[in-house]
Structure 1
Amino acid sequence: MPWQNNNGGNGGPWGSGDGNGPRNPWGNGPQRPGGPSGGGGGGKGGPDFDEFIRRSQERLRGLPGGGGGKAPWLYILLAVLGVWVVFTSFYRVDAQERGVVMRFGKYVETTGPGMHFKLPAPIDTVVKPKVEQVSTIDIGSADASSENLMLTGDQNIIDIAYTVRWKIKDPEQFLFQFAEPEETIREVAESAMRAEISAATLNAAIGPQRAQIAEQVRVRSQELLDSYRAGVDVLGVDIKQADPPAAVDAAFKDVSAAQQNAQGYLNQARAYSQQLIAQAQGEAAAFDAVYAQYRLAPEVTRKRMYLETMENVLAKVDKTVIEANGVTPYLPLPEVQRRARAATTAAADANSNQ
């Protein structure tokens, strides 16, 4: 052997040729039949590699699943690999979701609801954004905890709070076009609102044009987001508050109350004017009707008008006018009626006293 010295000894690098050197690191194994280990040389023998390999094989055969020299961890590795492939190759997409498949981080396809197959992870990964979910972004505060001040077209300041409702329109653009899509939507909506408020007066923004401004903000925001390829559908903008700043809110309310009172007085004046006009028109129509009858029979109509006028004038006078031949021109009929009523009242009092 190469470790034998010239004297035929069995020392090698762990022992001297005469057998008196240091022991080898494996010790002296059992001797084979027919001579010491390590070949045909004499002495106490060097390291026995065959014996070491034989003992290692016996230990492997003693493990569970061992046999025939095959390591059991090979089967365990294959089983784990199979489970990993099965559980990472199939995925399910819900009705309100879309499956965005990426291969090594690069977009591959978008899948609809249902079960789908892909390459096992980490080759393919799936992100499932909820495309049917309506999300909201609140800008400003309606509870006076903070102010969102904007400048109107007539150089006034308004404190406005509103909510933007949106949902995902294109999952690919929504996931890959912007790092923070919600922050982009907020900034676009605020920019659109400032542009619309700057073109309106304070009174219009507070009152009659609130709905119109909200719709214009929605349209402008959608146009900007589409130009950015954000993959977002803006469903609506709801203005929750549009008031002057808190510092001048009390004075503004006083001015608004005075304007409302003035408008109330104007409405009352218009109503009274309409009433007088209607009354005059009615009297004119009645006069026209009388005039038409007068043209048909002037004498009879003239006498009738005279008698009706005298009746109105003498209604409260204690006189009775009778125009007839052979009749006494004056009869004290009212006096007779008063005496009769007085007698009836006295009789009633006397009966009650009894």
Structure 2
Amino acid sequence: MSVKRTLMMVGLGIFGVIALITVFTSWYTVDESEQAVVITFGRADEMVTNPGLHFKLPWPVQSVEILSKETFSLQFGYKQNKAGELEAYDAETKMITGDEYIVLTDLVVQWKITDPRKFLFNAQSPEEILHSATSSAIRSIIGSSTIDAALTDGKAEIEAKTRDLLVSLIEKYDIGIGVLGVKLQDVELPNKEVRAAFTAVTDARETKNTKTNEAQKYMNQRKSEAEGEKDAIISKAQGAKTARIEQAQGDVAVFNKMYEQYKGNQQITRERLILETLENVLPKAQIYIMNDDGSTMKYLPLQPLQPQQPQTDKKEGSGN
């Protein structure tokens, strides 16, 4: 074999290798859950978000970095190992509250890549920056909160404030990350004795609140009943007042009418009033009208005749 033929075979081999490299490095696939950044001579050139098969110049002219669109979880204060067990990092989670108590705080940060260019080139390790920013944010918020808020009903507010502060820090760092949410996993005291004492205090406070609410409920109930009784008494008194006024007005009308009759015939009216008065005063008495000479006059009876007791005839038996 001549040298010329050998060189030709070597050249064809090199060309074939280059052709294969060109074919295999010029096409890439982007999945629906992925996004890509095309890098030309080490510089971000194009961002691809549409799924499918895409073309680029062969390596080393262009290369591509595939990144996920999915949501990531940053575990702060603990980590799940390969066996599925949780490993706690007490040194990382130990914090001081605003009233100078020590608490252990674990949380999860939900985040995603919002700008692949910035994620790749604005920071060497964006996830470490996110971790440090999370530590700074949660320590700042816990440091301005009370122990009661951190352990009981203030967790939602702490989560919201931590998220807002973390979002502002990440936006300032401009590393292409978006924070979606912050969730406190656990906030607890560092040892069992302190936890037991705080639990006792919390239980006592809850008992106090329960008793206070029950007393308030009883007071409101009694107050409502008293208000109802008061309204009933006022309504009854108002009705009695109205009835007395109407009765008095009726009596006045009767009196005025009688007075008009009296003015027209004083003698007859006077006698009728006397008879009516006697009838009211002596309802069961028999009335006799006497003349001046002492003899009895005939009159129409003003009272019905009293029924006489029936007399039973006794039959006397004759003795034999």
TM range (shorter): 0.5 to 0.7
Structure 2 residue corresponding to 1:123, chosen from 47, 53, 61: 61
What residue number does 2:213 align with? 267
Cα distance in 2 for partners of 1:245, 1:70 equals 76
- More deviation in 173-182 or 226-235? 173-182
Aligned residues: 239
How far the C-alpha of 1:251 sits from its partner, in A, is 0.7
Within 5 Å, give how 1:235-274 maps onto structure 2.
235-247=180-192, 248-274=194-220
Matched, 1:92 2:65: no
Where in structure 2 are the equivalents of 1:327-342 lying within 5 Å? Answer: none
Q: Deviations along 1:116-136, whole A, 9 cap, x unmatched?
A: 322211232111111x21000
State which of 151, 174, 177 in structure 2 corresponds to 1:232. 177
Secondary structure of the corresponding residue to residue 186 of structure 2: strand
Pick closer, same or farther for the CA change 1:144–1:154 going to 2, 3 Å: farther
Larger RCO of the pair (alpha carbons < 8 Å, separation 6+): 2
Residues 33-56 of structure 1, C-alpha deviations (whole Å, 9 max, x = no match): xxxxxxxxxxxxxxxxxxxxxxx5
- CA shift in 2, pair 1:245/1:297, >3 Å: same
Structure having the higher strand fraction is 2
Shift of 1:242: 2.1
Q: Does 1:150 align with 2:70?
A: no
User: How many Å separate the matches in 2 of 1:153 and 1:291?
Assistant: 61
Q: How many angstroms does 1:271 deviate by? A: 1.5
What do the CA deviations read for 1:222-247 (whole angstroms, capped 9, x no partner)? 21112111110000001122233334
| Greater Cα offset, 97-106 or 258-267 | 97-106
Task: Return the letter of the residue paired with 2:166.
Answer: S
Identity, in percent, stands at 31
Measure the CA separation in 1 of the matches of 2:246 and 2:218.
Answer: 38
| Match 2:44 to one of 107, 122, 126 | 107
Q: Is the 8 A contact 2:67 2:116 kept in 1?
A: yes
TM-score (norm 2): 0.67
Change in Cα spacing, 1:275 to 1:184, as seen in structure 2 (3 Å) is same
Give 1:285's aligned residue: 231
- 1:82 has 2:27 as partner: no
Question: Aligned-pair distance for 1:158?
Answer: 2.1
Gaps of 5+ in 1: 1-55, 302-324, 327-354
Matched position secondary structure for 1:230: coil
Partner secondary structure for residue 122 of structure 1: coil
Q: Name the CA distance, whole Å, in 2 between partners of 1:144 and 1:289.
A: 73
Alignment of 1:296 onto 2:254:
no
Distance 1:118 1:87 in 2: 11
Larger radius of gyration: 1
Unaligned ranges ≥5, structure 2: 80-85, 248-282, 285-320
* Aligned counterpart for 2:72 among listed residues 115, 119, 135: 135
Shift of 1:299: 11
Change (3 A) 1:70 1:182: closer
Aligned counterpart, 2:147: 202
